[in-house]
């Protein structure tokens, strides 16, 4: 009888120990859904600055994908090819993924090494730049904040002419001081092209021939710095809709099935992003 009791007790302790060692690593989130009629949470912009000859950049791309899986639509990613490691060289790295907007941002924010990122362009410790190992923490600190503004995107894409019509509607949810710009970008997902790599756990070394480039910045639709949400010196009126219309012709090299419009509103004082939205062009 004593042996039976001891066996049952030992089994209980073993099961408890096994379950206690089952650990979920951050970042984590229980529920990404937003219920209509409730206060929505802010969306966060992650900019991943990279280049196709940057051997240390693939792990940052993996981290961005992991974070997207955690936070879903609340996280919007733009991958910016700019700087030394994005410069086209001999084949197979002769494709030019650089853009005017990406080059301007790279220079303005002082990005001199890759991989590097920004999380809603918010400054911490005097710099907006964040190493990819810290992206999860920065995003987690912002993701549950209530939104201060809302952006809606409408798109009409005509396949025959590759014409893309875009309408944005921006609404501030409370009184805001200062001035704000709205920036629109075109991104393309799932571009398969070679990528230098130095991390065997991510892919072949030294080159991943069929690397999948995600969320690649293709164009600054309204320039590198956007345009004012509110015209002139008019004050922001909470609850009022501010509408903007844009029209572009999609580059023939871009796969329309993989293209999205990203719109974000930022402060012209410190470049911090207040809200961001993303919409596939054919939705």
Domain assignment of residue 183, yes or no: yes
What CATH number is attached to the domain comprising 61? 2.60.40.10
pLDDT value of residue 28: 36
Tens digit of pLDDT per residue, the chain (283 long)? Answer: 444 433 333 433 333 333 333 322 333 333 333 333 344 889 999 999 999 999 999 999 999 999 999 999 999 999 999 999 999 999 999 999 999 999 999 999 999 999 999 999 999 888 999 999 999 999 999 999 999 999 999 999 999 999 999 999 999 999 998 999 999 999 999 999 999 999 999 999 999 999 999 999 999 999 999 999 998 778 899 999 999 999 999 999 999 999 999 999 999 999 999 999 999 998 7
pTM of the model: 0.86
Structural domain span for residue 155: 40-280
Count structural domains, the chain: 1
pLDDT value of residue 126: 87
Domain assignment of residue 19, yes or no: no
Question: DSSP letters along the chain, please?
Answer: -HHHHHHHHHHHHHHHHHHHT--PPSS--S-----TTSPPBPPEEEEEEE-TT-TT-HHHHHHHHHHHHHHGGGEEEEEEE-SGGGS--STTS------HHHHHHHHHTT--SSSEEEETT--BTTB-EE-GGGHHHHHHHHTTSBPSEEEEEEEEEETTTTEEEEEEEEEESS---S-EEEEEEEEE--EE--EE---TTTSSSSEETT-EE-SEEEEETTTTT-EESS-TTPPP-TT-EEEEEEEEE--TTS-GGGEEEEEEEEETTT--EEEEEEEETT-
Where b means 16+ CB within 10 Å and e means fewer, 265-281 reads bbbeeebebbbbbbbbb
pLDDT value of residue 282: 85
Alpha-carbon torsion (270, 271, 273, 274), positive or negative:
positive
Domain assignment of residue 14, yes or no: no
Domain assignment of residue 134, yes or no: yes
Domain assignment of residue 27, yes or no: no
pLDDT value of residue 125: 85
Domain assignment of residue 122, yes or no: yes
Domain assignment of residue 79, yes or no: yes
For residue 267, give both structure tokens: 């402060």
pLDDT value of residue 123: 94
The answer to whether 33 and 265 are in contact (CB under 8 A) is: no
Domain assignment of residue 23, yes or no: no
């Amino acid at each position: 009888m004593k042996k039976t009791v001891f066996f049952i007790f030992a089994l209980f302790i073993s099961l408890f120990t096994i379950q206690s060692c089952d650990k979920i690593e951050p970042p984590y989130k229980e529920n990404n859904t937003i219920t209509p009629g409730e206060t929505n949470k802010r969306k966060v912009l992650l900019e991943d600055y990279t280049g196709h000859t940057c051997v240390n950049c693939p792990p940052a791309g993996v981290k961005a994908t992991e974070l997207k899986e955690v936070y879903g639509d609340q996280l919007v990613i733009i991958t910016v090819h700019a700087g030394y490691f994005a410069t086209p060289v001999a084949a197979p790295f002769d494709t030019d993924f650089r853009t005017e907007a990406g080059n301007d941002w790279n220079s303005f924010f002082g990005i001199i090494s890759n991989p590097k990122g920004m999380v809603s362009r918010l400054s911490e410790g005097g710099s907006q730049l964040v190493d990819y190992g810290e992206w999860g923490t920065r995003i987690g600190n912002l993701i549950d904040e209530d939104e201060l503004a809302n952006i809606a995107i409408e798109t009409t894409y005509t396949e025959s002419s590759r014409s893309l019509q875009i309408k944005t509607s921006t609404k501030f949810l409370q009184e805001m001081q200062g001035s704000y710009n709205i920036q629109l970008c075109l991104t393309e997902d799932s571009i398969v092209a070679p990528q230098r790599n130095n991390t065997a756990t991510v892919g072949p070394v030294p080159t991943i021939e069929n690397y999948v480039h995600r969320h690649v910045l293709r164009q600054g639709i309204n320039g590198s710095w956007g345009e004012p949400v509110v015209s002139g010196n008019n004050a922001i009126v909470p609850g009022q809709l501010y509408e903007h219309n844009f029209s572009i012709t999609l580059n023939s090299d871009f796969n329309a099935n993989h293209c999205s419009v990203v719109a974000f509103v930022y402060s012209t004082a410190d470049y911090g992003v207040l809200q961001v939205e993303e919409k596939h062009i054919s939705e």
